[in-house]
Each structure stands twice: as structure tokens, then as C-alpha cells.
Amino acid sequence: MAGPGLGAPDSSPQGEPGGLATLLGDFAETVLPRARRYTDEEVATESGTDLELTRRLRRAMGLPDVAAGERGYLQADVDALRRVRRLVEMGDLADEDLLHMARTLGLAAARMADAVVGFWTDRITADARLDLLEGERVDELEQLIGYLFRRHLLDAVSRFQAALAGASEGPPVAVAFADLVGFTSLSEQLSDLQTADLVERFEVLATDLVVGGGGRVVKMIGDEVMFSAAPDRIADIALALAETFASPDLPSVRVGAASGSVLSLGGDLFGPVVNLAQRATVAARPGTVLVSPALAEMLADDPRYRVAAIRPHRLKGIGVVRLAVLRRA
């Protein structure tokens, strides 16, 4: 990728806002050189895409609006829209399909970008001089993201193949949520840095346990993780999460899980089963795992676990449900 590196010394310390702002300005030029700019009409003409679709795509991708006549588009935008046009031609995609894909990918890319810049700038201000913001690192990171995208495509295809090979409704799926108990009140006692460290530690441990247990992290929501797996695997993952966080230096974790048919859309999961798992999590006590009646029935004959029904709970938006506590045998 063309563009200057950031090895030249800056006149102000990187720990000061002015020095960091200068670095970030140079870094922006390294990421996407901005020598030539286009108006919206010019970028539509150059890329061969409809002007209105161009504007809608940009917004769907999460990119800020460019006023009519303003030279706010880059050569990279033109190249990207040409690729979009080729995707449409190859796949005969409708505009709404294209916008849906753009929203999904845009959200993921925005989160990755924020995470990378935050990670790098934190270390620049903390360690005075680290040449993290340079073109070569961006090139390597871009290659890594490309690999991860293809690798996760392979895993996604494998999951869909498993669903097709199962029953007409697909193989049984279980969904669970795990959250840090008392996180809101605890965060009020911690500094911002301490709170961020706690959330990061939770994310690292939760991801390791979920993926290591054969599950999939659907999303992280601050102090909560949503994950899915086969019913027999989700039980072990849920108990491992509750056990791992049963230590003096970590808040307790509570887990709720349910099984049944779910709707997969844009990498997320939806449906009554998801709602039930989330409500079960709220009803769970610290350090415990609550499961839905259907999941309890599936696990009842598994010698690794003990499943004990508890008194009926009235769950918000669902009604009265007889949940069960899951423990190891």
C-alpha cells in the first residue's frame, strides 16, 4: 500500500494530543491516499453505478454522507463500487440484497477499525514511541483479515452443510447468554481503564471457553456474551463459564440457555429460543446455569449432568416457564 510511513520524529511528544493528532493524520494518508477526490456524480460515472444506489450503499456501509457536489469520494471508493457492480452482474443481486450485505459487512468492518485504532493509540500514548501506525503494518493486517474472512467462510459453509444433512428443520441448536453479575455497580467503583481491562478479560476468557468447547461466539455485548452450540456441548460450555468466574478476583457469571429452532440472519440469531435464553439468564443466580424445559429434557439422560427443575418463573415478554438448574453430576 502506497503512502508515507511514520518513522520520522514528530515535533511534539506522542503522549500529547497534538503529537498524536499529527500521527493519526499521517496514518490516514497511509491507509488510503487521498490525492484525487471525486463528487458523488463523478464517482457514479467512473464506477458505472447508479447515483442513488451509490448514496444508499455508502450509508448502508456506515460511511458518512457526502454532500452533493462535494469532493468527498476517493479513488478507493470508485474501485470498491466497481467491485460492487461486478458482484451484482455475477450474482444477479437485487438492490435490497446488496444493501443488506453492505450493512452487515460495514458494521463488522467499523468495529474492527475502531478496535485496531484504539489498540494502537493506547500503546502509543502509554509507551511514548512505538511505530505502530505505519503502512507496512496495515498491509500485514489487511492480509490477516482476508485470511480470517475466508477461514470463517469455510466454517460457515460447514455449519450450513451440517444443517442440510440433518432433519428438515436442521440439527438441534442451543443458544446461551452469559453475563457478569453486578457489572454496572462494579464499574462505578472502577476507573475507565480498570473497567476496560475487566471487559477485555471477560471477552478473552469467554471466547476461549466457548470456541474451545466447540461453540460459536455470536456476539459480545459489553459485559455479556451470546453463543451457540449443539445442546450437549452448550451444557459443558455454560458450566465451564460459571466455574471459571467463581474466583475472588472476578465477578460471578450467570448463564441461561435454551434449545430449538432459530433464525440466522446477518451472522446473528433471532427467535423465541433466543429470547428465552436471554430471560433465563436474567433469572439465574450468580454462578448458576438455568436451562429451558426443552434443553433440560434433552440433557436429562446425560450422565455428565444433573438437571433439577425449579419453581415456575414469570419471564418478561414470555410468560410462566418452569426452568431447570444445570449442574455437573
Direct distance between the N- and C-terminal alpha carbons of the chain, in angstroms, rounded to an integer: 57
Residue 273 C-alpha cell reads as 429460543
Would you list the domain boundaries of the chain?
Answer: 17-134, 172-328
Helix, strand, coil percent values for the chain (each to nearest 5): 55, 15, 30
- The residue that leads in pLDDT, 195 or 178, is 178
Which of the residue ranges 30-39, 156-165, 187-196 has the most confident prediction, judged by mean pLDDT?
A: 187-196
Q: For 304-314, how does the pLDDT look when each residue is reduced to its tens digit (9 = 90+)?
A: 999 999 998 88
pLDDT score recorded for residue 11: 38
pLDDT score recorded for residue 132: 56
Residue 58 C-alpha cell reads as 455508502
The DSSP annotation for 66-100 comes to --TT---EEHHHHHHHHHHHHHHHHHT--HHHHHH
**Residue tagged 458523488 (cell numbers):** 40
pLDDT score recorded for residue 40: 87
Q: For 200-240, how does the pLDDT look when each residue is reduced to its tens digit (9 = 90+)?
A: 888 888 999 999 998 999 998 888 999 999 888 999 999 99
- The residue that leads in pLDDT, 101 or 33, is 101
pLDDT score recorded for residue 164: 65
Identify the CATH homologous superfamily for domain 172-328. Answer: Nucleotide cyclase, GGDEF domain (3.30.70.1230)
Half-sphere exposure of 191 (CA within 13 A, CB side): 3
State the pTM of this model: 0.65
Question: What length does the chain have?
Answer: 329
Helix or strand or coil: residue 329?
coil
pLDDT score recorded for residue 166: 56
The share of the chain scoring above pLDDT 70, in percent, equals 84
Distance, CA of 210 to CA of 229 (rounded, Å): 9
Query: Do 296 and 329 contact (CB within 8 A), yes or no?
Result: no
Query: Do 325 and 238 contact (CB within 8 A), yes or no?
Result: no
Q: What is the largest CA-CA distance in the chain?
A: 70
Q: For 70-111, how does the pLDDT look when each residue is reduced to its tens digit (9 = 90+)?
A: 888 888 888 888 888 888 788 777 788 888 888 888 888 887
Q: For 103-155, how does the pLDDT look when each residue is reduced to its tens digit (9 = 90+)?
A: 888 888 887 887 777 777 776 655 545 555 566 777 888 888 888 888 878 87
Residue 242 C-alpha cell reads as 460459571
Q: For 265-285, how does the pLDDT look when each residue is reduced to its tens digit (9 = 90+)?
A: 777 888 999 999 999 999 999
